A and B are shown apart, each in its own frame.
Chain A
């Protein structure tokens, strides 16, 4: 693994986006913050903590899923992979660089939600490191899904619609903004296929609930599985 390239690529892709396009931070925060307001008004403040936990996970997941279009754009429009093939880096370095770049780009949103969570007493300071660990797993697993989805696209324009569709499916339907306990077990198990669901269960249970260990296992398994699939579907050299 080429760590210096991975970090530089994250700087190139994530930091340049953050520095020169801060308006996109507002853009990716607009939906979760609007939903937070909606949840607050409708539940008269009772479900505020779900709005914060859900928004935090949604920020990471929606940015990670934007890799559907970013990866397609890099590959088909910018010819980034063609440029990088004849270098010392491989598909894993490229993939992790993209994921880390997305994490850098999501950082202001994550920080905002963590501050809100601390101020509104949704989670104590001590829980921040494990929550951050969960968010990194969400980033890796959903980014991998983004890469898998974009890997066989022939036209960039197909990626735009897919990216928005997946973002809605991954951040509105699963139990991010509402308690997972209200779901029938069978629906919860089905939704466990999306990495955001086990992540939400872990954070909603305060990291030590009855479902935490099994959800951690599911999230770890999905992260490993999706990352391996993404690696093999990232076409580096052609036959």
Chain B
């Protein structure tokens, strides 16, 4: 279980990345969603002991991130957003190196690395230099690290950013192989909807919503999204939400009707913030 209590991070330049964030996450896969700069990566870095909070507290499975830092590092795995493999080394060398950093012997690390790489579909390329692999395959090396490290909690920061749809689905499938509890950050609503049992929506360092997909969709239940008219303006697109029963009245107007998704929850929360 991950709990934060009034967690705040203020950087030296005055930017408040997290603003008194209090929440509790306890799903097999929990997601943090939010726009760029919402505070997702800062929160992940604080929880994975890379960054110190300015104030407040966070506890992971009963371990305080500051007081129990050393113990906690044995119990978590953190895959940073922009982590890249070293082109000249192979997937097997990467995962083995990481597992010895997590405390395994070299022999066990090689064995576990092979199993994990096989599980994520990289069994055929374990000895190839990573320069020769696709973007999706490179990301899967890090997922293999998370699978094989066998820790209590895994932090995955935007694991599919920049990948094509097929590669993303491959990574999702690999993520499901991880036995640990996962905190995954993403700005892909579809990804959150696909993978996460619990979703926290962050905006400008604050928690805007927390719940299952269905709970978050509840306020927009019975509505459809209308593109082409309305008070919500995103770029050059006007949006609004109307009851399904009234949607047929709009068919002769130049609008597009779409079913409600998590993206709409996100949009409506963002609008509330603006107003």
Contact = CB atoms under 8 A, between A and B. Distances in A.
Interface of A: 2, 4-5, 7-9, 11-13, 16-17, 20-21, 74, 77-80, 82-89, 93, 237-239
B50 A88 contact: no
Interface of B: 45, 48-52, 73-74, 76-86, 88-90, 93-94, 96-98, 100-103, 105-106, 109, 129, 142, 155
The 10 A-B pairs with the shortest beta carbon distances in the complex, nearest first, are A82-B80, A87-B101, A86-B78, A16-B89, A12-B97, A8-B100, A79-B83, A86-B48, A85-B50, A5-B100
Contact of B78 (A7, A8, A12, A83): A83
B83 A82 contact: yes
29 contacts: A7-B106, A8-B96, A8-B97, A8-B100, A11-B97, A12-B89, A16-B86, A17-B88, A20-B88, A74-B86, A77-B84, A79-B81, A79-B84, A80-B86, A82-B45, A82-B50, A82-B83, A83-B78, A83-B98, A84-B101, A86-B76, A86-B77, A87-B103, A88-B73, A88-B101, A88-B103, A237-B50, A237-B51, A238-B51
Contact of A79 (B80, B89, B93, B101): B80
Secondary structure of the A side of the interface? helix
Contact of A85 (B49, B96, B105, B129): B49
A20 B94 CA distance: 15
Nearest to B149: A87
- Most A CB contacts (10 A, CB to CB) among B82, B89, B90, B129 go to B89
B148 to A, nearest CB: 13
Given A83-B79, A85-B78, A88-B74, A238 B88 contact: no
A134 B49 CA distance: 39
Contacts of B98: 83, 87
A45 B86 CA distance: 43
B82 A21 contact: no
Contact of B83 (A20, A83, A93): A83
Contacts of B106: 4, 7-8
A77 B49 CA distance: 20
A216 B74 CA distance: 41
Given A237-B49, A237-B52, 17 more contacts: A2-B100, A5-B100, A8-B109, A12-B97, A13-B86, A78-B84, A78-B86, A79-B80, A79-B84, A82-B45, A82-B83, A83-B83, A88-B103, A89-B101, A237-B51, A238-B51, A238-B52
Given A5-B101, A9-B97, A85 B48 contact: yes
Nearest to A16: B89
A83 B96 CA distance: 14
Given A4-B106, A89-B101, A12 B83 contact: no
A86 B97 CA distance: 14
Contacts of A5: 97, 100-101
A4 B100 contact: yes
A213 B76 CA distance: 49
A93 B76 CA distance: 19
Contacts of B101: 2, 5, 9, 84, 87-89, 93
A83 B102 CA distance: 11
A59 to B, nearest CB: 20
A93 B45 CA distance: 21
Given A8-B109, A79-B83, A87 B102 contact: yes
Contact of A16 (B50, B52, B74, B93): B93
A80 B86 CA distance: 9
A87 B85 CA distance: 17
A83 B80 contact: yes
A86 B109 contact: no
Contacts of A7: 106
Contacts of A84: 101
A87 B80 contact: no
Q: Which of A16, A21, A74, A239 has the largest number of chain B CB atoms within 10 A?
A: A16
Nearest to A86: B78
B23 to A, nearest CB: 20
Contacts of B76: 86
Most buried by A among B50, B52, B77, B109: B50
